[in-house]
Structure 1
Amino acid sequence: MVEALNAFIEANADSMWLLPAVLLVCILDGILPPAPAEPVLVALGAVAVAEGQPSLVALVAVAAVGGFLGDNLTYTIGRYTRLGRLRESSKPRVRGFFMWISGLLMRRGGMIIIACRYVPGGRQMVNLTAGAMEFPRLRFILFDSIAVVTWAVYNVGIGALAGAWLEDNPLLGAAVAVVFALALGWVAERGAQWWRDRSDQRVAQGAG
């Protein structure tokens, strides 16, 4: 079974449809939280090192471009459609969450845009809010460019390290890399939650 799967990976690693498919997944990932961009990049990074295809540089470039397009589409949706009018929500929690993210963007816009690219679900909400509050487009493009390049290098790099370690078994290398990436993603998400709770405490103390 494993040998058959390895053969499938080897046969399709240099397929013409592979990089366009990665581009599409990364675009969708900037808009829809369930899109599995990180596991795809990590797995392909492992395969690329073990099999020599696809090109790591091309993989990083396509992932960064796809992430950039997806993030800017979300920003545009937030700015020009009713989906971005969270400040007018009838639900106090939604309205409060929007105001909280807006405050963070006003104080530390660059850091928030870059950091939240690594938090599934967080990147979509931050980018949507940035558009809704009319965060300057050129500043958003600058910070998001940094975010997507580092994000692409990070995910492909994890896969490449696992692929080099398990060079003779690209499938196992991809599986190990995906598990490792998911664990790091969980840690990043917990860290973001801790930071949010800490920020809420500071706001409450300031109000008191």
Structure 2
Amino acid sequence: MDAISAVTNGLSDFILSTAEQPWVYLLVFVCCTVDGFFPPFPSESVVVGLASLVITEGVPNAWLLILVSSLGAFVGDNVAYLMGRGVGTHR
């Protein structure tokens, strides 16, 4: 086994073991929330990456991933609204 294969296998194992952890849903929620008021944050990449694992490996739970990412986006959009309302049109 060459070094590149060893690194690739190790990285794949790390990603799969991480996707099985319950705290990954908190990570998705935080990413989607922050993305609501700070658009450069990569929440779409996190959700799509985890969704691809749902299809290929069966983890994490697809319905819970949809629920958590939707709630995070909703909270983030409301935070952005409140920030805009607080700043107002006159500065």
TM-score by length of 1: 0.39
The alignment status of 1:12 with 2:18, answered yes or no, reads yes
User: May I ask how many residue pairs the two structures share in their alignment?
Assistant: 85
Provide the rounded CA distance (Å) in 1 between the counterparts of 2:20 and 2:72.
19
Tell me which residue corresponds to 2:64.
58
Provide the rounded CA distance (Å) in 1 between the counterparts of 2:16 and 2:72.
24
1:75 to 69, 75, 81: 81
* Identical-pair percentage: 35
2:29 to 2, 23, 43: 23
**How far is the alpha carbon of 1:73 from its aligned partner?**
1.0
Tell me which residue corresponds to 2:45.
39
Question: Which consecutive unaligned segments of at least 5 residues does structure 2 have?
Answer: 1-6
Question: Which consecutive unaligned segments of at least 5 residues does structure 1 have?
Answer: 90-208
CA RMSD of aligned residues (A): 1.3
1:84-133 C-alpha deviation (Å, 9 max, x unpaired) = 32xx46xxxxxxxxxxxxxxxxxxxxxxxxxxxxxxxxxxxxxxxxxxxx
Tell me which residue corresponds to 2:3.
none
Provide the rounded CA distance (Å) in 2 between the counterparts of 1:68 and 1:13.
23
**Runs of 4+ residues over 2 Å off in structure 1:** none
> 1:9·1:47 contact (CA, 8 Å) conserved in 2?
no
TM-score by length of 2: 0.86
* SS of residue in 2 equivalent to 1:8: helix
* SS of residue in 1 equivalent to 2:38: coil
Structure having greater relative contact order (Cα 8 Å, sep ≥ 6): 2
